[in-house]
Amino acid sequence: MKRAAGFLRIASFAGVALLARAAEPEPTPAPEPIVRLPPMIVSDTAGGAKWLYASVRGDEYLSRCSRSTTVAFVASWSRALERLHAVVPDAFLADIPSVTVLNDSTTKPKADDQVAREVLRLDNAMAQPNSRSAVGFLPNLELDGRDLSAWFAYIDEGMSDSRELAISPPYLRFLLERRTPMLPPWLVEGLLVVNAQVDVRAEAVTLRPFIWLSSAESSAIARNPARPRALLPAGEMFAPDALRAEGDHHPQRVQTLRTQVGLFVRWALDPRHQAREAFWAFAQRASAERVTEELFIKNFGFGFSDLRDRLSDYLPLAVKEPLHLEPRARTKGPRIETRDATPAEISRLRGTWERLEIAHVQKFYPEYAARYIAQARRTLRRPYEEGDKDPRLLVELGLCEIDAGNSAAGLPFLEAATAAAVPRPSAYYEVARLRFLELMRDQSPNRLCSAAEIAPVVEPLRRAIKLPPQLPEVFGLLADTWIRARESAPAEDVEALARAAHYFAMNPAVSYRIALALARSGRRAEATELLAHGIDYVADDAGRIRYAQLQAALTKPEPAPR
Amino acid sequence: MTTALDAATREQIAALFRPFLAEQVTLSPDGRHVAYTEHARGELLVIIMKLEAPYSKVTLAVDDDHELAFSKEKQHARLRFLRWATPNRLVFAPAEEKIPVKRPRGVFGPKYLAPILGVDADGKNPGKLIDGEDYLVTVAGVPTDLDDGIHQYSRASEIVGFPAGDRDHLLVRALGYQTGPTMIPTTAFKINVQTCKKAELESEPILGAAGYDQQGKLRLSYLHSSHSPERSFLLQGATPLKFSESWLGPLAGRFTITPQNYFGERAIPLGFDADPNVLYVASNVGRDTFGVYALNLKTRQRTDLALEHPHVDLAPLEPGYPDAQLVFDEFRGQLAGVRSPGPEPVGVWHDPEIAAAQRALDKKFPRRTVEILEWSEARTAFLLCVTGGTEPGRYFVWQRPENLPVEVMRRAPWLEVAALHATESFAFDTAGGQHLTGYVTLPRVSRLKPPPVVLCFANGFPATPHAEFDREAQVLASMGLIVVRLNHRGVGGFGLKHRAGLVAGIDRAPIDDALATIEWLAARQPIDRKRIATMGNGFGGYLAVRALQLQPEIFRCGVAFDAPLNPNLWLQPPVDVDASDTFDFMRETTRLFLERSGANLSAISVLADLKTLTHPVFQIVTIAPGDPIEIANRQLRGHLQRDAEGSDYVEVNADYATGLPEARARVYEQLEAFFNLNLDDYKVKIGPTKEIK
């Protein structure tokens, strides 16, 4: 295989981490400087090893490693997910399929490539931060799409047996943040903190002793449980605006908040407190409504001040002892079968990766963008031109053109894919978005459309709503469309918007629009509730004023029916 | 009728009654150090903690715990003063100790151990500022060779505080008194806290309490002679004030205290501002609760200041000098606000910045009481005590720039919050319009479902409001009881109307309040209506037993500690062989107040109609031969032994009232047996406790 530009972003090295089994726990490594490099282009396969294909629970793997290494990787990844589920129930994670492209590390970029050499140097530095380190790093990059995530990783064939994969914080954040109803930020941060403590070397799922602010501070509290310590009041811990007001940005406060939410999650998971069920029930409610002390009491039986006290009293124990989570009934790992990948699969999956690279490169290295677009197009078009009309391929072709800025070329692919009922909500969304733009082109901003005019927009949105994952932009566009309509939205769409009010209250990009559409549909109470909840998550003053104005308008009596 | 308490229960009681950490605590003016008290191994310690480096503490051994008569346990030593004079100099003083048997030769009066000490924040430069021998006085005109060669008089002392704008000095006064025809003067001292040099300021004979202005000048006398039925105030200085002057408006003439107005409308001088012309007074004239106001003695006008609370008295009935309610920002020389007396102080702030801080802090600790104790000179650090719910108390330093409350220490770190029984405050209005408040403590586990209830009347007379965290309530809840502590009519601190509500029926009104509370509780919480006990201390103990007489169908048994079962006997003057003309002001005031209802105090005696008392009573009585309370309790004991099976009588010493753990454990052991017998079905063997689902 010819490698065109084997570049990895050092920030993502911690993405999928290979961790050795032995050796003592290592304190959290100091943050390394981030060197941003354009991602890998996987060039053509001529002359390289053959590609293997595997599919497990809807996730697809394309591997140029040996069969045993591929199976070991997939099995290890499955165990990592199982450990994750011992900390975070499935219901709190977005169900988003992934594509993983694995490469043998011997095919790394040549050393005469300046950027590649830089990658390798960083790779080595990360792999051996010091002589006691038990942590190895798998060079990899993960890129997220709307309804799909993709990985690219190098595997060292010689090091596969005794290593365990761990879920990277960015990937877990992606899974948590894309879950619907949306999880409140404190919960996302708390789960990230706790998951980072999972000791992958332990047999049972075990959290290492908690790190409170720093290793030194944690040791000091472990030695002296009466050591003074600052914890935020629980009300502030749950408040979306805890760090927003002037005077609330002090680094000590910021760091305390971020660590404290992790302490709360750990406390809740600790079987000694018998609070796990209450915690997840509370988390469920907190993702759909504003957290109040009453809500907390209803779930836990005590109030915010008691919670702060209990966390403070728990801290000396948390920093001192590992926490063995009750092992769940171990599922028998999934059956992993590999086979030779078909040319269509190779092109589609590689093309998917390359298509996702486009947005990344456009954002960070625009000077390389044209190369990446060309590469993705080449990879995806090859099977298409050979007659492959797999709707999954069509979606990638369409999205590739849109990412390349050529929407007109992309739309037919997407329309064909949606006509074939492809299970990708982003395809339906893009079709609807492009039709909406077309409908609104050169129109006065106040122009209202007829139901017939907006039908081509609404129809794909309705289909997208029925597919996982639920995309906020789908509901945002549905709201925009009905805001611009002369007629009232039908019950089906109003119900969808009402559902979205619960899903996306914490997303200021869509909550206002959904509230406005609900209000126009006569669902004032739900709109008011959404605004009251959503305003907490609006960061800027101007935005909050807009929310407040709409709230005020909604408190006025409804006009009498004519 | 006893059951052996298991070791765990004894341990729990010992833990509950162990003296709190940081019974006193203070923040340095720069906000960098906290000093607090701790009891360890029979000693009272003062600990100085540097907040930036809390691992390095300075520990000062201050005093040993004291022997207590008839007890193996020792009384815990206490401090009477703990304050930072400067960012680096701490001043503290153990409680004054009076040793009558160690009277020095040639000295009239007991020996006083009354050291006041100073130390630097790092524990260096310790020094004794003053001690009991410095208060010895030779009175001019009195021969020094009288009797057994007496030539000096000893005096007790009181710490006034730091003079306004001068934290290098401490004001202390030696308290005068009258012995025979001789008037021993009250003397003020000013002591340099760094060098320990003393200066005597002024010396005057005063009969009563003395109030000083913030420059250390004696300005106010609170005269309460044991021969007079009146108490009055005398204001001295460049701008003397007759409290009858007309410019005082409705307050004119309301400063004289008599048995008739003691529990009614009146005014009390509290203390002086940094401006010596401004006198702060408390008054409930024309209103329900005591508010705090200011008089400018120079301009002869009342100022605009009015610190009031709709439900809480901001001043005690009995004034104290120096006043504990006025809170000054000593760095700015301004009144910051007022702190109400009682176990749960309410801060009413005059200073808008402190008021804003209080609001912000109240929000941070919902369902808790946040008491701002002190703040740093720059107001960047606030020392707080946060109590309530299950929490006995935690101290915080709120770092304002970081907006972070740093938990500095817990009052009782040995108590696990999750193991304590949850306590909630309650408030409701009865059908008769009475606003009642109190606390309910729910047992974590109970043998019976629904659990039985013990209703606790407030202690003493005038009754003290219940505190939010109560050790005894925790013990009772551990026995599986729902503990209701009621601030019924007659309890002090909640205004005139609430206090005077007792007049509607000395026994009837509080018991009606108890019945209303049970109804209110039963509407919200499953309770065993057939198993309700009463409990009380002092006059509350009387009510606990009286309730069994008046409502035997509601209350099944009662617990009374030192209950004045016969109010008439209780309020009788003691047999006076010498026929002196002394006047017991408080006894007469209490009698007059109780008789205002038209009640015949003999008729409402528990002992007046003993045949109506058929439910068992657990009597706890302090051994005090000849005391009317003990006499009445012995009389009741005889009746109960015959007619109320299951009763018990326990004699205790001062160690029980002091709250020493062993003494408490002994009584609670018997009390648990009493409840087992009288609240649980004694025919059923008591099994292991079950959790309430």
pLDDT of residue B25 exceeding 90, the answer is yes
* Residue A267 and residue A212 in contact, taking contact as beta carbons nearer than 8 Å: no
In angstroms, rounded to a whole number, what is the distance separating the alpha carbons of residues A102 and A72?
12
Question: What are the distances in angstroms from CA A260 to CA A192, A238, A287, B212, B420?
Answer: 12, 10, 19, 49, 24
Residue type, B242: K
Q: For residue A214, what are the contacts with CB-CB under 8 A and spacing of at least 6?
A: none
Q: For residue B188, what are the contacts with CB-CB under 8 A and spacing of at least 6?
A: B160, B171, B172, B173, B200, B201, B202, B203, B212, B216, B218
Question: Which residues share a beta bridge with B98?
Answer: B112
Structure tokens at A456: 């081509």
pLDDT of residue B555 exceeding 70, the answer is yes
Q: What's the pLDDT score for residue A334?
A: 78
Between A232, A248, A310, which is nearest B417 by CB?
Answer: A310
Span B642-648, mean pLDDT?
91
Q: What's the pLDDT score for residue A127?
A: 46
Q: What's the pLDDT score for residue A20?
A: 26
Span B196-215, mean pLDDT?
85
To the nearest whole percent, how much of chain B has pLDDT over 90? 62
Q: What is the distance in angstroms between the CA of the first residue and the CA of the last residue of chain B?
A: 31
3-state secondary structure of B425: strand
B416 touches chain A (CB under 8 A): yes
| DSSP letter, residue B491 | B
Q: What's the pLDDT score for residue A57?
A: 87
CB contacts < 8 A (A, B): 81
The count of C-alpha atoms lying within 13 angstroms of the C-alpha of B295, restricted to the half-sphere facing its C-beta, is: 26
Q: For residue A254, what are the contacts with CB-CB under 8 A and spacing of at least 6?
A: A243
Q: What is the pLDDT of residues B64-114, one digit of tens each?
A: 888 777 777 778 889 999 999 999 999 999 999 988 765 666 788 888 999
In angstroms, rounded to a whole number, what is the distance separating the alpha carbons of residues B649 and B652?
10
Q: List CB contacts (< 8 A) between A247 and chain B.
A: 401, 403
Distance from CA of B347 to the nearest CA of A (A): 20
In angstroms, rounded to a whole number, what is the distance separating the alpha carbons of residues A397 and A400?
5
Q: What's the pLDDT score for residue A247?
A: 82
Distance from CA of B405 to the nearest CA of A (A): 6
Based on the number of CB atoms within 10 Å of its own CB, is A230 exposed (0-12), middle (13-18) or buried (19 or more)? buried
Series of mean pLDDT values for 10-residue runs along chain A (562 residues): 25 32 34 48 58 93 92 88 89 93 71 37 46 50 88 75 76 93 96 91 86 95 94 96 87 95 97 95 93 96 94 97 75 82 94 91 85 92 94 97 96 97 97 96 89 96 96 97 94 96 94 96 94 92 94 80 50
Q: What's the pLDDT score for residue B143?
A: 55
Q: What's the pLDDT score for residue B7?
A: 67
Residue type, A226: A
Residue type, A32: E
Q: Which of B32, B56, B57, B364 to mutate to test the interface with A (most CBs of A within 10 A)?
A: B364
Distance from CA of B58 to the nearest CA of A (A): 15
B52 touches chain A (CB under 8 A): no
Long-range pairs of B591-600 with CB within 8 A, sequence gap ≥ 24? B592/B259, B592/B260, B593/B262, B593/B263, B593/B502, B593/B503, B594/B502, B594/B506, B594/B567, B596/B503, B597/B502, B597/B503, B597/B504, B597/B505, B597/B506, B599/B505, B599/B506
pLDDT of residue B445 exceeding 80, the answer is yes
Q: What is the distance in angstroms between the CA of the first residue and the CA of the last residue of chain A?
A: 73
pLDDT of residue B3 exceeding 70, the answer is no
Span B229-248, mean pLDDT?
83
A235 touches chain B (CB under 8 A): yes
Cβ of A250 and B404 within 8 Å? yes
Question: What are the distances in angstroms from CA B550 to CA A132, B349, B488, B604?
Answer: 79, 44, 17, 10
Which is it for strands B89-94 and B97-99: parallel, antiparallel or unpaired? unpaired
* Residue A494 and residue A529 in contact, taking contact as beta carbons nearer than 8 Å: no
Q: How many CB atoms lie within 10 A of CB A532?
A: 15
Q: How many CB atoms lie within 10 A of CB B602?
A: 12
Provide the b/e sequence for A114-150 (b: ≥16 CB within 10 Å).
eebeebbebbeebbeeeeeeebbbbbbbbbbbbbbbb
Distance from CA of A292 to the nearest CA of B (A): 11
Which is it for strands B347-349 and B369-375: parallel, antiparallel or unpaired? unpaired
**If pLDDT is split at 50, 70 and 90, which confidence band does B596 have?**
confident
Chain A residue with minimal CA distance to B403? A248
Q: What is the mean pLDDT of chain B?
A: 89
B403 touches chain A (CB under 8 A): yes
pLDDT of residue B6 exceeding 70, the answer is no
Q: What's the pLDDT score for residue B508?
A: 94
The count of C-alpha atoms lying within 13 angstroms of the C-alpha of A327, restricted to the half-sphere facing its C-beta, is: 7
Chain B residue with minimal CA distance to A225? B413
Return the closest-CA partner of residue A402 out of A365, A423, A376: A376
Comparison of pLDDT for A368 and B646, the residue scoring more: B646
Between B391, B402, B406, which is nearest A229 by CB?
Answer: B406
Question: What are the distances in angstroms from CA A229 to CA A218, A448, B409, B411?
Answer: 11, 59, 9, 15
Q: What is the 3-state secondary structure (H, E, C) of A77-108?
A: HHHHHHHHHHHCCHHHCCCCCEEEEEEEHHHC
In the numeric block, the tokens 């044209």 are attached to A370
Q: What is the pLDDT of residues B311-365, one digit of tens each?
A: 999 999 998 887 889 999 999 999 999 999 988 889 999 999 999 999 999 999 9
A247 touches chain B (CB under 8 A): yes
pLDDT of residue B575 exceeding 80, the answer is no
ipTM above 0.85, yes or no: yes
Instruction: List the strands of the sheet with B25-27, edge to edge.
Output: B25-27, B33-40, B43-50, B57-64
Residue type, A453: E
**If pLDDT is split at 50, 70 and 90, which confidence band does B684 have?**
very low
In angstroms, rounded to a whole number, what is the distance separating the alpha carbons of residues B278 and B296?
5
Span B641-670, mean pLDDT?
91
To the nearest whole percent, how much of chain B has pLDDT over 70? 93
Q: For residue A418, what are the contacts with CB-CB under 8 A and spacing of at least 6?
A: A427, A428, A431, A460, A463
